[in-house]
Amino acid sequence: MNKNRISIVILAAGKGSRMKSSKAKVLHTICGREMLYYIIKASREISDDITVVIAHQKDAVQKAVSSYFDDINFVTQDDINFPGTGGAMKNVSVKNEKVLVLNGDMPLICAEALDGFLHNDSDIVMSIFDLPDPDGYGRVIIENGEVKKIVEQKDASKVELSVTTVNAGIYAFTKEVLDKYIPLLSNDNAQKEYYLTDVISMARADGLSVSPLLVDEEHFRGVNSKKDLSVAEEIMQDRIKTKWMEAGVRMQLPSTIYIEEGVTFEGECIVENGCRITGSSKIINSHIKAHSVIEDSIVKNSDVGPLAHLRPASELEDTHVGNFVEVKKSTLKGVKAGHLSYIGDATVDEGTNIGAGVITCNYDGIKKYQTIIGKNVFVGSDSQLVAPVTIEDDVMIAAGTTVTSGKVESGSLAISRTKLRTIKDFYYKFFKK
Ligand code: UD1
Ligand code: CA
């Protein structure tokens, strides 16, 4: 595909009041990334000239986009004087003769789905689909087989409201059409907004050609509410998991698994039911057992769970982490931590065993401190390691010990216990049996 033939404009300046949120609509995330990210990702595959129109929370929107992409143009809409999707196009200037305009709330779009707009020589190509429940969408009024106009829900008559053919919100225009009609738009409508969709009726009245392109709902549905957001997320989840299963990842009951867009897998991996893997986690040749949560972590040649929690910046290699173990910001290489532990701000080296109930006490209420555990250390059950602390190689920590010394030297045993007392027949006396 020749990327240089078409310019793309993405409208992302609106508030999105139907989201009932203080956050701009396009910044709401599905599968861990902002809606806008997905639209730009698809756009990049077909164009090098991408403009994002911003206004509401413009700094936050620009920052989010720039964290993923570095060659995007930003244009600010004068949303006070020229609100609406047509107002958004006022200050836009593009490089190419053909311009694809996308609403910023269509995260399910992909490059292949946009292909139909590129091979059509009409003055305007617009996307339409049929919906049994067209609520919220602009209705497409067709006369004698030709698009006549688009009527927004709030402006529609009773008869128009019953039309089930809707405007999906993606258009290809020639630059000439935009240059001519955007300045002519008026805001004489129920919302007092400048509607981009009015370009279509104006162009038709002048005898220009408008091609309706029938598109599928799965790729072209818009997100206006939190309910729509969840529906879109489910569709995106399905795509992400399908992609990884096709790449060789084994998933059990995939409908119960949640995997974010930034996650990657390599080699032979198994993910059991109920797992949640987020952020930029990397899973390499590993087995993630049921109901584990992995956030922004690396897991290599290891097994995790069931019911384990790896919090951000954890790195496991050749390691076994079992049930009810929580790891945070720690590196474990060649380690076994089978049950019920908290390992935070720690590095643990080869051959070391972490017994059940071991806790790194990394926080004193003000600051966090490091725990360093060497090779072949045996940390007995129910021990507390009060950080900052270094346990050198070949050390035994007796069960129930609280290590407060800051350092345990190689070859030693650390033990802190009160002497056990047993009081004969106490039970019988106490319960008067
Ligand atoms: C729009 C269409 C409608 C179509 C629907 C498809 C218009 C007038 N209506 O309606 O026909 O069926 O999309 O999903 O275009 N935006 C701006 N600046 C603004 C207002 C909106 O940039 O002043 C952006 C929003 O951030 C959003 C996009 O434009 O990404 C669409 O805006 P939205 O308010 O959701 O339009 P709809 O009412 O859904
Ligand atoms: Ca919309």
DSSP string, 324-365: T-EEES-EEES-EEEES-EEESEEE-TT-EE-TT-EEE-B-S
Question: What pTM was estimated for this model as a whole?
Answer: 0.94
**Is 117 within 8 Å of 172 (Cβ atoms)?**
yes
Ligand 1 pocket check for 195: Cβ under 6 Å: yes
In whole angstroms, what is the distance from residue 373 CA to residue 351 CA? 11
Residue nearest to atom 23 of ligand 1 (CA): 84
Residues of the chain with pLDDT under 50: none
Structure tokens at 389: 């602390």
Q: Please tell me the predicted confidence (pLDDT) of residue 345.
A: 98
What's the pLDDT score for residue 58? 98
Q: What is the pLDDT of residue 405?
A: 85
Q: How many CB atoms lie within 10 A of CB 157?
A: 9
Please give the order of strands across the beta sheet that includes 389-391.
Answer: 264-266, 282-284, 298-300, 315-317, 331-333, 346-348, 371-373, 389-391, 407-408
pLDDT digit string, tens, across residues 342-392? 999 999 999 999 999 999 999 999 999 999 999 999 999 999 999 999 999
Burial 349-377 (b: 16+ CB within 10 A, else e): bbbbbbbbbbbbbbeeeeeebbbbbbbeb
Helix (H) or strand (E) holding 219: helix 217-220
Whether 146 contacts 212, CB under 8 Å: no
The pLDDT value given to residue 224 = 94
Does 84 sit in the ligand 1 pocket, CB within 6 Å? yes
pLDDT for res 5? 87
pLDDT of residue 328: 98
User: What number does the ligand 1 atom closest to the CA of 195 have?
Assistant: 8
Q: Which residues pair with 34 in a beta bridge?
A: 29
Does residue 169's CB lie within 6 angstroms of at least one atom of ligand 1?
yes
Work out which ligand 1 atom sits closest to the CA atom of 53. Answer: 22
The Cβ-side half-sphere exposure at 295, using a 13 Å CA radius, reads: 9
Would you say the CB of residue 86 lies under 6 angstroms from ligand 1? no
> 115-141, pLDDT tens digit by residue?
889 988 899 999 999 999 999 999 999
Which H/E stretch holds residue 177?
helix 175-181
pLDDT score at 165: 96
Distance in Å, CA 59 to ligand 2 centroid: 21
Q: What is the pLDDT of residue 170?
A: 96
